[in-house]
A and B are shown apart, each in its own frame.
Chain A
Amino acid sequence: MKKVHVSTTINGDNKEFLCDTRETLLDALRDHLALTGSKEGCGTGDCGACSVIFEGEVICSCLALAVEAEGKNIDTIEGMANDGKLHILQKKFLEHAALQCGICTPGILMASKSLLQQNKEPTKEEVRFWLAGNLCRCTGYDKIINAVLDAAKEMRETV
């Protein structure tokens, strides 16, 4: 089958790739664009390890087709730190030891970023429910929730 040409914007950069129409956005990010920070934990939208921000909304990139990226704006974990400066969420995840193995971390960071864009002062409960689509098997979530709340606090104070 002939491949399809896709032009898209990823982390602010213009990107082009060729893909099979059966490939997912996650496949394209990882295999065609060398952006392997988004992870495949299930391929069925249950674990959230592939979370990216697609036109301002957090989605599972394993549930989107690669061709859907045409003309769209996509943010991935690789674009979260700016000029070598970590995002406050990234800094807080490190300070709170909010990761053990780190495989779910990119997805959880993207989902958390999306939460804090929409809700600057989430409650503990709201963070837990927002992140319910992102599985973590190592931490029991406690330190993740603390890191997100602490990041929200610092972001409010620094703005």
Chain B
Amino acid sequence: MALDNENKNFFDVVGTRPIRPDGIEKVTGQARFGADAYLPGMLHGIILRSPHAHAEILNIDTTSLDNDPSVKAIVTRKDFSPDLKGEDWNILENVMADQKALYDGHAIAAVACSSLLEARDAVKKIRVKYSLLPHVTDVEEAMKEGAPIIREGVARSSVPKDMHPNIVGYHESGHGNVEKGFIEADLIIEETFKTEAAHQGYIEPHACLVNMMPDGKGEVWCCTQGHFNVAKVCAKLLGTDASQIRVTASEIGGGFGGKTAVFIEPVALALSKKANRPVKMVMSRSEVFRATGPTSSTSMLVKIGMKKDGKITAASGTFKLQGGAFPGSPMAESAMCAFAPYDLEHVKNVGWDVMCNRPKQAAYRAPGSPMAAFAVESVIDDLCKKLKLDPIETRLKNAVKEGSKASFGPRFERIGLVETLESAKSHPHYLAPLKDGYGRGISCGFWFNFGGETSVSLALAEDGTASLSVGTPDIGGSRASMCQIVSEELSIPYEKVRATIADTATLGYNEISHGSRVTFATGLATIKAARDMKRKLCARAASNWGLEEDAVYWEKGYVKPAGPNAGNHDPLSIIDIAKTMGRTGGPIVGHFEASPEGAGVSFATHIVDAKVDRETGFTSVDRYTVIQDAGKAIHPAYVEGQFQGGAAQGIGWALNEEYIYDEKGVLQNAGFLDYRIPVASDLPKIDTVIVEVPNPGHPYGVRGVGETSICPPLAAIANAVSNSVGIRMKELPMSPPRILKAIEENNG
């Protein structure tokens, strides 16, 4: 019975839009998020943070708290494991500074008190003696000779010798000979572009409640995209065993990559260990902005050569990304995604990873790709304009297809870029005449998607209903999709399936909910676990009938004898088998544990109409359309939600959102008033088209959809704005002051 690798094309439940299983809790206020947990006797922890961008920590004086009865514990760096290396050391250094404060907001010490108000008072009484150091927050400045050195000896072996110590990583990829390709071009455009750091801006600040027992067993409740990773990191930083730290993921109030990193949980555990009491920690919004990872800011140089007919002859790009005071910016992703939509004979991608005095960058939805697309798609737009070519036809002419060699190396399997472009070409939005003063922008975007370690368990209850345990926090409705999948496979009603995010002691290791992997990998694991269960149901029925396993088969929720030789047995339903399973061999559970590959890359094309008010520099977005290949949409409403959410975040990044540092390297806009994310009245309706070109690496054809949606908007908006105002905008965000400056310079 080939249940295992069967690919499905016709569906009963998949592709419908049932109510999400966690919905009632979320509309009635009963869902428990990170900050919604309490324990008897719990303390409140608060972190003291550096007010300086770069400083040596000479002394941390806590003597004023010595006789304060409300203070139950104080921790500094010496309370964490002293012998970490590599990325483990980086994470610890970011969680709690050692000898230097590396950015405004860097954690220096923490206290735990019986009440939050007491903790707020206590933390102010800690006296820290700093010796200020020169700082740098701009990526280009940080690479220059004489720039303040963040830390020596961090550079990876890929970095050429004698570079500035802040340059810590180098990437190069591509194929062909770009010099030869540029000679063949009729027109070459080369431009530099800059983007500022944007924060993921999840509405729920980081929060946790922990309890460290005297025997070394730790319990953690927290909002995270990856609780197994939290357990691993906490164990390392505290020098204990991962299995001793049990982490339960709360409901999560947004993450977008930002909650893949660990910040406060190890601190809370260290405080709890010292105080022998549970400790709760909740970040303030300003702490979220100052101390958790925004995305990288960038400086990029892109050069593209084109024939008069629109064929690209060669393309090259250099992508410099700062990742804060640590290595690890997604510069390789920028370089690899930049030209991914195009089938190029000659292409060269270069990336530079640079450190400066900013918080450690964290993943933000398709890390690295949106900025690269902004640079590349802007240049393509200018080439189209100068050569009087249609932007969609030109992209179609160069679009990658199945078998094309990707700019980053491998050959593509079945992909859907052409389908998104064809769909855009015939979309009413693209066919509609432009309103007066508006500019229209087009952009393509690409993201790899990802599989990763996955372990799920599907248990049958005595009444024939099923409970699914997964280890990937639900960041956008994935429990609904998982219940649909179980319902589809077992032919039991959707409402008869319950999906739970299990804690770290219950399942094998699950990688973080990132890389658009959950519906792909956890979905694939759920399909396989359900098929494992079906096999066991068949075996049980066969054994009940005294038959060999291969003498029965599964059909729509029933086990049936395979043919006349198997005897005359009435089909057994799941309920029939479940009812007697206790005395016919015991519990029936389906499993899957593996690291599925074949995530299936995804492409999108976005169309936007925007208008710039030349007097104020304000841009209004009038119409927006997202067209993206989902492979197969399990729950189309939540797929549309991912498309719309990515577009909205991209619009914010393109027009408003940025980290603003003053001359001292102190963040000036650490709040939602000054770091303005789009509000309802800023945005138009965001129209969506779900293209379905099945991913050959998934039994239903699913591709991840969460990240690709943020790849085209920066460029699409930039193209629309540039077309509206008649000036190429090369720096993000295109906030009113930047647009006014560009208009002024253009007039001058």
A residues sitting closer than 8 Å to B (CB atoms) are 20, 22-23, 27, 30-31, 34-44, 46-47, 49, 76-78, 80-81, 86, 90, 93-97, 99-106, 109, 125, 127-129, 131-145
CB distance from A116 to the nearest CB of B (A): 15
Cβ B29 vs Cβ A77 within 8 A: yes
Q: Are A135 and B672 in contact (CB under 8 A)?
A: yes
Do residues B252 and A101 form an inter-chain contact, with CB atoms below 8 A? yes
CA A76 – CA B648 in complex, angstroms?
A: 29
Which residues of chain A come closer than 8 Å to B644, judged between CB atoms?
139-140, 142-143
Q: With a CB–CB cut-off of 8 A, which chain A residues contact B200?
A: 137
- For residue B647, CB closer than 8 A to chain A, the reply is yes
Given contact pairs A22-B117, A36-B36, a sample of 12 additional A-B residue pairs in the complex whose CB atoms are under 8 Å apart: A39-B253, A47-B203, A86-B27, A93-B23, A99-B27, A100-B254, A100-B477, A101-B253, A101-B254, A136-B203, A137-B645, A142-B686
Beyond A43-B284, A127-B680, A140-B648, is A103–B33 a contact (Cβ under 8 Å)? yes
Residues of B631-667 contacting chain A, CB below 8 A: 635, 637-638, 640-641, 644-645, 647-649
| B729 on the A face (CB < 8 A) | no
| Complex-state Cα separation, A134 to B641, whole angstroms | 18
- Say whether, besides A44-B673, A140-B647, A99 and B26 are in contact (CB < 8 Å): yes
Closest Cβ of chain A to B294, distance in Å, is 14
- Bound CA span A103–B252, Å: 8
Report Cα–Cα, A41/B287, bound state, in Å: 12
Residues of B237-255 contacting chain A, CB below 8 A? 251-255
Instruction: Give 6 nearest A-B pairs by CB, closest first.
Output: A37-B29, A103-B253, A140-B648, A102-B26, A140-B644, A77-B29
Query: Is B617 in the interface zone, CB < 8 Å from A?
Result: no
Cβ of A103 and Cβ of B254 under 8 Å apart?
A: yes
Tell me if A138 and B254 are in contact (CB < 8 A).
yes
Q: How far, in whole Å, are A22 and B671 apart by their CA atoms in the complex?
A: 21
Complex CA–CA separation, A97 to B683 (angstroms): 18
Give the residue name and chain of the B residue nearest to A125 (CB): B681
Contact with A along B705-725 (1 / 0, CB 8 A): 000000000000000000000
24 contacts between A and B (CB under 8 A): A20-B115, A27-B116, A36-B32, A44-B673, A47-B672, A76-B29, A78-B30, A80-B27, A94-B23, A94-B24, A100-B477, A101-B252, A101-B253, A102-B253, A105-B27, A128-B683, A134-B679, A137-B200, A138-B476, A140-B641, A140-B644, A143-B637, A143-B644, A145-B685
B17 lies within 8 A of chain A by Cβ? yes
A20 to B38, CA, bound (A): 19
Question: In the docked arrangement, what's the CA distance between A97 and B23, Å?
Answer: 9
CB pair A140 B201 closer than 8 Å: no
Residues of B contacting A47 in the complex (Cβ-Cβ under 8 angstroms): 203, 285, 672
Residue of A nearest to B671 (CB): A44
What is the CA–CA distance of A113 and B117 in the complex, to the nearest angstrom? 33
Q: Name which residue of chain A comes closest to B200, CB basis.
A: A137
B545 lies within 8 A of chain A by Cβ: no
B33 partner residues in chain A, CB cutoff 8 A:
39, 103
Nearest residue (CB) in A for B650 is A140
Interface residues in B1-50 by Cβ distance below 8 A to A read 17, 19-20, 22-24, 26-33, 35-36, 38
B256 within 8 A of A: yes
Residues of B within 8 A of A94 (CB): 19-20, 23-24, 27
A90: min CB distance to chain B, Å: 4
Interface residues of B (CB under 8 A from A): 17, 19-20, 22-24, 26-33, 35-36, 38, 115-117, 200-205, 251-256, 282, 284-285, 475-477, 635, 637-638, 640-641, 644-645, 647-649, 671-673, 677-683, 685-686
Task: Tell me whether B117 and A78 are in contact (CB under 8 A).
Answer: no
Take A41-B285, A97-B20 as given contacts and tell me if A109 and B680 are in contact as well, using a CB distance cutoff of 8 Å.
no
**Chain A residues within 8 Å of B678, by CB:** 140
Instruction: Indicate if the CB atoms of A137 and B256 lie closer than 8 Å.
Output: yes
B680 near A141: Cβ-Cβ < 8 Å: yes
| A140/B253 contact (C-beta < 8 A), A36-B29, A40-B35 known | no
CA distance A90 to B648 in the complex (A): 23
Report the bound CA distance from A80 to B475 in whole Å: 25
Task: Write the nearest CB–CB distance from B709 to chain A, whole angstroms.
Answer: 9
B201 (CB) vs chain A CBs: closest residue: A137
Contact of B29 with A35 in the complex, beta carbons under 8 Å: yes
The verdict on A135 contacting B203 (CB below 8 Å), with A44-B671, A46-B672, A101-B476 known, is yes
B29 x A23 contact (CB < 8 A): no
Inter-subunit contact A41/B671 (CB<8 Å): no
Interface of chain A, helix or strand or loop or mixed? loop
Do A37 and B30 form a contact, CB below 8 Å, given A101-B202, A101-B475, A140-B645?
yes
Smallest CB separation, A94 vs chain B (Å): 4
Q: Which residues of A contact B645 (CB under 8 A)?
A: 100, 137-140
Among the listed B35, B205, B256, B683, which residue makes an inter-chain contact with A141, where contact means beta carbons less than 8 Å apart? B683
Say yes or no: B29 contacts A129, CB within 8 Å.
Answer: no
Shortest distance between the CB of A133 and any CB in chain B (Å): 7
Tell which of B20, B27, B284, B679 touches A135, judged by Cβ atoms closer than 8 Å.
Answer: B679
Q: In the complex, which residue of chain B has the Cβ closest to the Cβ of A143?
A: B641
Query: How far in angstroms is the closest Cβ of chain A from B234?
Result: 23
Could you tell me if B677 and A137 are in contact, using CB atoms closer than 8 angstroms? yes
A39 to chain B, nearest CB (A): 7
Q: How close is A64's CB to chain B, nearest CB, in angstroms?
A: 17
Report chain A residues within 8 Å CB of B686. Answer: 140, 142
* Alpha-carbon gap, A86 to B27, bound state (A): 9
Residues of A within 8 A of B24 (CB): 86, 94
Q: Complex Cα distance A22/B38, Å?
A: 21
The closest CB in chain A to the CB of B255 belongs to A101
Partner of B679, one of A22, A127, A133, A142: A133
Also in contact, A97 and B637, with CB within 8 A (given A77-B29, A131-B680, A143-B644): yes
- Nearest residue in A to B626 (C-beta to C-beta)? A140
Are B673 and A106 touching (Cβ within 8 A)?
A: no
Chain B residue numbers with a CB within 8 Å of A36 are 29, 32, 35-36
List the A residue with the shortest CB-CB distance to B676: A46
Chain B residues with CB under 8 A of A42: 285, 671-672
Which has the most chain A C-beta neighbours within 10 Å: B28, B32, B115, B673?
B28
**A residues in contact with B683, CB < 8 Å:** 128, 140-142
Determine if B679 and A38 form an interchain contact, defined as CB atoms under 8 angstroms apart. Answer: no
Give the complex CA separation of A36 and B204 in angstroms. Answer: 13
- What residue in chain B is nearest A100 (Cβ atoms)? B476
- Chain A residues, Cβ within 8 Å of B30: 37, 78
CA distance A141 to B116 in the complex (A): 34
| CB-nearest residue of chain B to A104 | B203
Distance between Cα atoms of A128 and B681 in the complex (Å): 5
Task: Specify the chain A residue showing the minimal Cβ separation from B474.
Answer: A101
Q: Does B203 lie within 8 Å of A80, measured CB to CB?
A: no
Please measure, in the bound complex, the distance between the C-alpha atom of A140 and the C-alpha atom of B650, giving whole angstroms. Answer: 10
